[in-house]
Amino acid sequence: MTIVVRVDAQLHSALVDADRRKTLEQTTRWDPGEAESRLFSAWLEGGYFHPPAEGTAAENYSIAIPPPNVTGELHMGHALNGAIQDALIRINRMRGRNTLWVLGTDHAGIATQAVVERELRKQGTSRHKLGRNAFVERVWEWRQKYGSRIVEQYQRLGASCDYERERFTLDDGYHRAVIEVFVALHEKGLIYRDNYMVNWDPGSRSAISELEVESREVTDVLYEIDYPVEGSDEVITVATVRPETMLADTAVAVSPDDDRHRRLVGRHCILPLVGRRLEIIADPHVDPEFGSGALKVTPGHAIEDFEIGRRHGLEEVTVIGEDGRMNAAAGERFDGLTVDEAREAVVAALREEGRIRGEQKLTHAVPYSHRSGERIEPLISLQWFCRMDELAAPAIDVVERDEVRIVPDNYKRVYLEWMRNIRPWCISRQLWWGHRLPVWYCDACEETYVTAEPPERCGACDGPLRQDPDVLDTWFSSALWPFATLGWPDRDAPLLSAFYPTDVLLTARDILFLWVARMVMMGIEFVGEIPFDDVYVHSVIQAPDGRRMSKSLGTGIDPLEEVERYGADALRFGLLAMSSTQDVRYSSAKVQQGRDLANKVWNASRLVLLNVGEVEPAPSPARVEDRWILSRLQRAIEAVGGGIDRYDFAHAALDLYSFFWSELCDWYLEIVKPRLYDGEREAAATLLWVLEQTLALAHPLIPFVTEEVYDYLRDAAPGDRPEMLVVHPYPEVDETLIDPEAEAEIERSIELTRSLRRWRDLVGVPPRSLLPVRIVAAEPPHELVSRLARLDLDGSSDETLATIGPVEIVGSAEVDPDQARRRIAERREALHAEVARAEGKLSNEGFVAKAPQDVVDAEREKLDRYRAELEELG
């Protein structure tokens, strides 16, 4: 029996500062609240997050953060995205690479303008009352006041961004980049102005791009309307869910393959209410199976109809204005009505004329504005577009060749599919907040200037110039993010040569096209190099019930409240542990697991630091258990560090947890405690070494608690080491410390201990009492077995109750013989089943002949073992 001799720890530890020792002794719970802000400030002051602009991009490591909206609040998606990036940034910084995490925010045109406009409304004013300059001024003020809140929120997470180089997609340098790109693409002929069908968002009163449109399932009434055919009693019936648009009809189309209508092609019908003559045309777009097989063509108000119209040279009539109301072209009866009012009025009018043949419900996909949530109104308008095919070609190449590697690779196909079918991008927005187009018009002679620096007056007629009022789509500037933040358009910018291309881009899948694809195109076009080597597409975090996390649904969970409750380490750990490439439901259980781990790290470290003497941490494998833990540590280094490198964060986090908790705490600490209390130097050296390595290993995932403990470890252990863990070398696998024999031996001892504990528990031996046993093997089991299973090796009774491996349990007063017999019977039954299973397998000729030799051997070994144990049990 081992007797634990407890020497007063104070004599041993090198932790000399009495106050700090006291803190360590008395703080039995890790309290993140105070420590996190203090540690974060220390990192900032140490300048660890602010790398010099030195070296090459190949040597250095960099990530550009997906810039959150200035209006934004940190949500779970940001928190996961940030936890992942910080893990990568920290592991690479610890590996000694010059590491930059570019931070910044996005001006988010529509969203920000909407927020400030809402505020103005509350104050009883509006942007129109203020005027453009004053309004833009107000938005800047707003941004100054509230805009950087999200940056502070990233700090709460522990994100090690370079806060001294924060950028904004509307700052001066960035603006220069945007203007240069616009002018260059215009000169190349890729940017042009055109009258074209756009997705008009009545909510923001602006055109938006197709990617900002989301479709929703809506049930509408499908009206069937009779249009009389000119010069006959016949009618041709068309179907529509938007009867009000009939006022802008300029043709009726049928399928060229439709026998029913063929004879009408080329004739005309009369548009009810309006009286316009509409030609009946044949167009392959029309599905003869749908409705009556005839389609009313409204080139002014439907995308498909617009295309049919262009094919046939139809007139384009516009009856709905940009304000979402009917205009004069709709006729006196309808002018000024909202679209909904007009629909009712038109239906009523048609009904009166007996033109409505039928109505039925129709559920179909309808476009809505992603931002304002209003139904999209397709309108023809004069906008600026960017032709994408030419830019897309090289961006397709680099992904096909895996120069830009998209992980997981099923998104590679999605990306390529989209890029190969890319359409022109409508880049102008009718907003005030954003990059104003570098375009000037001369109203006198219709001259247009596209340039960064316009002349004072028109060069042709000396007339005054007027700048285009529109601003650019927010994503136009976001597309330049990886290089515009590094100093471009200054080609010699030191940051650019040190950190471009960046190493990886982390994102959820929702902005793959909106943002990622466009960065690839712009990076190649303007810097001549891809913007990042890897794109890792991570989870979307859903609410615990599987719905979207959203404020308006009331399903959102505030990451900062979780930080408040459990600590930043806990939230980071939890998010990483639940992350994958799939959508995952948020689980606060995982966050609690993270909190528990942080607490465990703190307490296990207290045990070590308060009980080691003044020894230098070093692997000193005096005994098999030391060789075991050192070997297991190497496996953990592979699993955790390798996991982060492979973007497999969930396994990295959970493998760290199980190494730390199960192997280091549950077993190794329990095994070495007596040696530690005895003041054995080898044990202390190994323990300190393992602790230091493990702190470093865990730091990218749970930076705060590890940094705090490291600070105590620096005090306690002699030797030169970095001031802070944030720049401590990251552990690398040391092959010479991998020791399969030691692993197997301790593994056996652990199994044996478990068997004996199980026996004790099921047979009713009280936890406190020792179990009398005899050792029946030549080699006695490891000391840990008798101590941790609480055995009395001097068992003297003659009666043997059971044999468990090399241990024979002998009779004693505390063992209930009935329970013991039942246990043995159960065990025997289990063994019989195992033997039968193994025998069955081995008597299968196919198995023996075709299965790999080592599988067959392993099966034989198992069978032997089961038979032997069965024999022991009698």
Partner RNA sequence: GGGCGCGUAGCUCAGUGGGAGAGCGCUCGCUUCACACGCGAGAGGUCGCUGGUUCGAAACCAGCCGCGCCCACCA
Q: Which amino acid is at 619?
A: P
Rule CB under 7 A: is residue 658 a binding residue for RNA?
Answer: yes
How buried is residue 632: exposed, middle or buried, by Cβ count under 10 Å (0-12/13-18/19+)?
A: buried
Rule CB under 7 A: is residue 407 a binding residue for RNA?
Answer: no
Interacting residue with RNA among 285, 311, 646, 821 (CB under 7 A): 285
Angle between helices 703-716 and 32-46 (to 10 degrees): 80
Rule CB under 7 A: is residue 266 a binding residue for RNA?
Answer: no
Rule CB under 7 A: is residue 740 a binding residue for RNA?
Answer: no
d(CA 309, CA 295): 12
What is the closest distance, in whole angstroms, from the C-beta atom of residue 181 to RNA in the complex?
Answer: 24
What is the closest distance, in whole angstroms, from the C-beta atom of residue 498 to RNA in the complex?
Answer: 36
Torsions phi, psi for 252 (to 5 deg): -125, 135
With CA atoms as reference, report the closest residue to 701 among 565, 581, 598: 598
What is the closest distance, in whole angstroms, from the C-beta atom of residue 654 to RNA in the complex?
Answer: 6
Count residues near RNA (CB under 7 A). Answer: 90
Interacting residue with RNA among 124, 740, 852, 874 (CB under 7 A): 852
Rule CB under 7 A: is residue 665 a binding residue for RNA?
Answer: yes
Which H, E and C letters describe 691-712, residue by residue? Answer: HHHHHHHHCCCCHHHHHHHHHH
How buried is residue 847: exposed, middle or buried, by Cβ count under 10 Å (0-12/13-18/19+)?
A: middle
Other C-beta atoms closer than 10 Å to the C-beta of 50 total: 14
Read off the tokens for 808.
Answer: 């024979």
Other C-beta atoms closer than 10 Å to the C-beta of 312 total: 16
Rule CB under 7 A: is residue 751 a binding residue for RNA?
Answer: no
Residue with smaller CB distance to RNA, 449 or 677 = 677
Rule CB under 7 A: is residue 565 a binding residue for RNA?
Answer: no
Residue with smaller CB distance to RNA, 648 or 734 = 648
> Which range of residues in 38-46, 57-65, 406-414, 439-447 is near RNA by CB under 7 A?
406-414
Complete DSSP assignment for 838-852: HHHHHT-HHHHHHS-
What is the closest distance, in whole angstroms, from the C-beta atom of residue 326 to RNA in the complex?
Answer: 18
What is the closest distance, in whole angstroms, from the C-beta atom of residue 815 to RNA in the complex?
Answer: 15
Rule CB under 7 A: is residue 10 a binding residue for RNA?
Answer: no
What is the closest distance, in whole angstroms, from the C-beta atom of residue 437 to RNA in the complex?
Answer: 25
d(CA 20, CA 610): 11
> Which range of residues in 65-73, 388-396, 454-462, 574-582 is near RNA by CB under 7 A?
574-582
Cα-only R_g, the chain: 37
**With contact defined as beta carbons under 8 Å apart, do 93 and 48 qualify?**
yes
> Which range of residues in 111-119, 146-154, 285-293, 499-507 is near RNA by CB under 7 A?
285-293
What is the closest distance, in whole angstroms, from the C-beta atom of residue 670 to RNA in the complex?
Answer: 6
582-641 residues in contact with RNA (CB under 7 A) are 582-585, 587, 589-590, 592-593, 595-596, 598-600, 603-604, 606-607
Residue with smaller CB distance to RNA, 287 or 390 = 287
Interacting residue with RNA among 178, 639, 654, 705 (CB under 7 A): 654
**With contact defined as beta carbons under 8 Å apart, do 180 and 350 qualify?**
no
- ∠328-426-480 over CA atoms, to 5°? 150
What is the closest distance, in whole angstroms, from the C-beta atom of residue 850 to RNA in the complex?
Answer: 3
Burial track 10-25 (b if 16+ CB lie within 10 A, e otherwise): eebbebeeeeebeebe
Element spanning 126, H or E: none
Burial track 591-602 (b if 16+ CB lie within 10 A, e otherwise): bbbbbbbbbbbb
- ∠551-557-562 over CA atoms, to 5°? 150
> Which range of residues in 176-184, 188-196, 428-436, 755-763 is near RNA by CB under 7 A?
755-763
Residue with smaller CB distance to RNA, 92 or 255 = 255
> Which range of residues in 467-475, 613-621, 814-822, 846-854 is near RNA by CB under 7 A?
846-854
Rule CB under 7 A: is residue 853 a binding residue for RNA?
Answer: no
Complete DSSP assignment for 152-183: HHHHHHT----GGG-EETTSHHHHHHHHHHHH
Q: What percent of the residues of the chain are helix, what percent strand, and what percent coil, each to the nearest 5?
A: 50, 20, 35
With CA atoms as reference, report the closest residue to 563 among 574, 576, 548: 574
d(CA 731, CA 735): 12
What is the closest distance, in whole angstroms, from the C-beta atom of residue 62 to RNA in the complex?
Answer: 29
Residue with smaller CB distance to RNA, 340 or 670 = 670
18-77 residues in contact with RNA (CB under 7 A) are 28-31
Interacting residue with RNA among 232, 402, 844, 864 (CB under 7 A): 844
Rule CB under 7 A: is residue 259 a binding residue for RNA?
Answer: no
What is the closest distance, in whole angstroms, from the C-beta atom of residue 285 to RNA in the complex?
Answer: 5
Rule CB under 7 A: is residue 237 a binding residue for RNA?
Answer: no
What is the closest distance, in whole angstroms, from the C-beta atom of residue 750 to RNA in the complex?
Answer: 9
> Which range of residues in 342-350, 410-418, 431-439, 612-620 is near RNA by CB under 7 A?
410-418
Rule CB under 7 A: is residue 460 a binding residue for RNA?
Answer: no
**With contact defined as beta carbons under 8 Å apart, do 779 and 806 qualify?**
yes
With CA atoms as reference, report the closest residue to 101 among 482, 407, 477: 482
Rule CB under 7 A: is residue 195 a binding residue for RNA?
Answer: no
> Which range of residues in 103-111, 335-343, 505-513, 776-784 is near RNA by CB under 7 A?
505-513
Interacting residue with RNA among 50, 387, 405, 651 (CB under 7 A): 651
Interacting residue with RNA among 129, 262, 277, 364 (CB under 7 A): 364
DSSP label of 423? -
Rule CB under 7 A: is residue 518 a binding residue for RNA?
Answer: no
Rule CB under 7 A: is residue 241 a binding residue for RNA?
Answer: yes
Contacts with 629 (C-beta within 8 Å, 6 or more apart), sequence order: 663, 664, 668, 686, 690
Rule CB under 7 A: is residue 193 a binding residue for RNA?
Answer: no
What is the closest distance, in whole angstroms, from the C-beta atom of residue 277 to RNA in the complex?
Answer: 20
Read off the tokens for 326.
Answer: 């009917």
Distances from the Cα of 176 to the Cα of 69, 179, 474, 484, 501, angstroms: 20, 5, 15, 9, 20
Interacting residue with RNA among 2, 41, 56, 215 (CB under 7 A): 215
Rule CB under 7 A: is residue 121 a binding residue for RNA?
Answer: no
> Which range of residues in 109-117, 752-760, 801-809, 810-818 is near RNA by CB under 7 A?
752-760
323-362 residues in contact with RNA (CB under 7 A) are 362
What is the closest distance, in whole angstroms, from the C-beta atom of residue 494 to RNA in the complex?
Answer: 38
> Which range of residues in 264-272, 542-550, 714-722, 741-749 is near RNA by CB under 7 A?
542-550
What is the closest distance, in whole angstroms, from the C-beta atom of residue 604 to RNA in the complex?
Answer: 4
Q: How many Å from the N-terminal Cα to the C-terminal Cα in the chain? A: 29
Residue with smaller CB distance to RNA, 650 or 771 = 650
- Residue 289-318 contact track with RNA, rule CB under 7 A, x = bound: xxx-xxxx-----xxx--x-----------
Cα 283–chain centre separation: 45
> Which range of residues in 46-54, 133-141, 466-474, 849-857 is near RNA by CB under 7 A?
849-857
Residue with smaller CB distance to RNA, 2 or 56 = 2
Rule CB under 7 A: is residue 711 a binding residue for RNA?
Answer: no
- Dihedral of the alpha carbons of 312, 313, 314, 315, in degrees to the nearest 10: 170
Interacting residue with RNA among 119, 322, 638, 666 (CB under 7 A): 666
Interacting residue with RNA among 171, 678, 834, 839 (CB under 7 A): 834
Read off the tokens for 358.
Answer: 């039928």
